[in-house]
Structure 1
Amino acid sequence: MPIVTVKILEGRSDDQKRALVEKVTEAVTSSIDAPAERVSVVIEEMKKTNFGVAGVRKSDE
């Protein structure tokens, strides 16, 4: 049973997250022949204050 965790910054719409789950499931099923009903996708949303790139928090941009 494949479990895929996707970490994203908060702020995406429900429609965007729905599409993400669908596309990730499709990618897993087509690449490793796992049945879709066995693929789990976990979305972890991070606050922009808790993520930084090149020494700068996303909330400070």
Structure 2
Amino acid sequence: MYPRGARPNRWQSLHMVCKYRDHHKPVYPLRRLATATERGHRAKMRFTKSFWDCLETVATS
């Protein structure tokens, strides 16, 4: 598929993953694999929100 010793670029490898996912559907429903950055971002947002909620609770008490 690629010339010997050449590494696929991001788009090509991503394309392969998508093709693989389309043709080999997992048994359990998987809407979309969140990327690591999205997961990290969500976790960060969740932490930030709980952090501010905590601060408000402390400030009001």
TM-score, length basis structure 1: 0.36
Q: Relative to total residues, which structure has the larger strand share, 1 or 2?
A: 1
Q: Relative to total residues, which structure has the larger helix share, 1 or 2?
A: 2
Q: Between Structure 1 and Structure 2, whose CA radius of gyration is higher?
A: 2
TM-score, length basis structure 2: 0.36
